[in-house]
Amino acid sequence: MTPTATPKRIAVIPGDGIGKEVIPEAVKVVQAAVAHAGTKLEITNLDWGADRFLRDGTTLPADAPEMFRRDFDAILLGAMGDPRVPSNQHAADILLGLRFKLDLYVNVRPCVLLDPRLTPLRDRTERDINFVVFRENTEGSYVGMGGIFKKGTPDEIALQEDVNTYKGVERILRYAFEYARSNKLTKLCMSDKSNALAFGHDLWQRLFKKMRTEYPEIQSSHQFIDNLLMQIIRDPSQFQVIVTCNMFGDIASDVGAQIAGGLGLAPSGNIHPGQVSMFEPVHGSAPTIAGKNEANPMGSALTGAMMLDYLGLPDAAKRIEAAVRSALKEGKTTPDLGGSLSTRECGDWLANFLAK
């Protein structure tokens, strides 16, 4: 393998709960994978999360977006969320803040069955469950526009705006269609709720109908989100590329994760093509199992693989995926997948496999 001259500069934000356990394992795995490729990683750890927030109020420093753009090639993040912060303010500021302020408009969430024994769906094979959800990541009902009037009274009004812009919808649809084309995939499904959301999702409908004519080789279809989620479970082999709005993508990717083995295995990327991007497992901080050394680090390891692929190291990424497949085959897993390894033991197993 050809050594890559310039080190890759990675900011690591383990965050809260199991993020603090699985991310160090992912770093170990990623380091083992790139050592083999002769590439160096420069890792900078950032202690942002609930502990820091409760200590000194820090969430996302004002200069963070500029710092990431200037000093880093990628961000690896664990999870944000802690029962001691019921407002979830630090998570909104850091996680959503980075997605919005770095304009990471593509949230890529692959749902790939790596071992047939992992799916709860009857008689499904690896061939049947292999699709990717492209979730719009900078708009929708996540933008934090709205407010509460007369809070705590019987007259209370709570407004939460759902923002859909021409630019935002157009670019995520374009990304999904181009992904399908460049990967020679033939099926793309756009999902919305335009039967009820007559303004915002009408925009999705119009832009989708216009754009699909540019991709005649792709069988593009539409499903309402309620039907889509049902169809994913009924017959996941229908899907190769799914594109949808921010909130529906959040929900669809948890459903997709579960049919492919569970949240502990699911990776994701928050991407702005060509710019510093952020990679995180799909799961959250899982407070009930945090601190027990039992969380599955594979989703984070596969997230590390997505990050390496994005950084131009596809071979190292493929080796991580192969290591995870081997671990699954040999039952070297944490309890969520029926194994008896701890988080650290599972990370060590993957790193040792990669060092061979």
Site residues for Mn ion per CB under 5 A: 250
CA 14 – CA 342 distance, rounded (Å)? 18
**Catalytic: which of 16, 115, 128, 142?**
142
Buried b (16+ CB within 10 A) or exposed e, 243-264: bbbbbbbbebbbbbbbbbbbbb
Query: How many other C-beta atoms can be found within 10 angstroms of the C-beta atom of residue 308?
Result: 27
Phi (first) and psi of residue 21, to 5 degrees: -100, -40
Using DSSP, state whether 224 is helix, strand or coil. strand
* Residue 264 in the binding site for ligand NAD (CB under 6 A): yes
Annotated active-site residue 202? The verdict is no
Give yes or no: 73 in active site: no
Task: Assess contact for 259 and 252: CB atoms under 8 A.
Answer: no
Respond yes or no: is residue 123 known to be catalytic: no
CB of 239 to ligand NAD, least distance (A): 22
* Rounded Cα–Cα distance for residues 133 and 223 (Å): 14
**Shortest separation between residue 52's beta carbon and ligand NAD, angstroms:** 15
Instruction: Quote the CA–CA distance of 98 and 95 in Å, as a whole number.
Output: 5
Does position 79 interact with ligand NAD (CB under 6 A)? The reply is: yes
> Does residue 354 contact residue 323 with C-beta atoms inside 8 Å?
yes
Catalytic residue among 226, 235, 292, 329: 226
In the bound state, the residue with its beta carbon closest to ligand IPM is 250
Whether 215 sits among the annotated catalytic residues: the reply is: no
Of the residues 27, 106, 289, 313, which one makes contact with ligand NAD according to CB under 6 A: 289
Q: How many residues does the chain have?
A: 356
254 is catalytic: yes
Q: Which residues contact ligand IPM (rule: CB under 6 A)?
A: 81, 91, 95, 250, 282, 284
- 288 contacts which partner out of Mn ion, ligand NAD, ligand IPM, none, CB within 5 to 8 A by kind? ligand NAD
Tell me the residue number closest to Mn ion, measured at CB.
250
Q: Which of 8, 193, 310, 332 is catalytic?
A: 193
Would you name the residues annotated as active-site residues?
A: 142, 193, 226, 250, 254
Which residues are at the interface with ligand NAD (CB under 6 A)? 18, 22, 79-81, 88, 91, 95, 263-264, 280, 283-289, 295-296, 299, 336
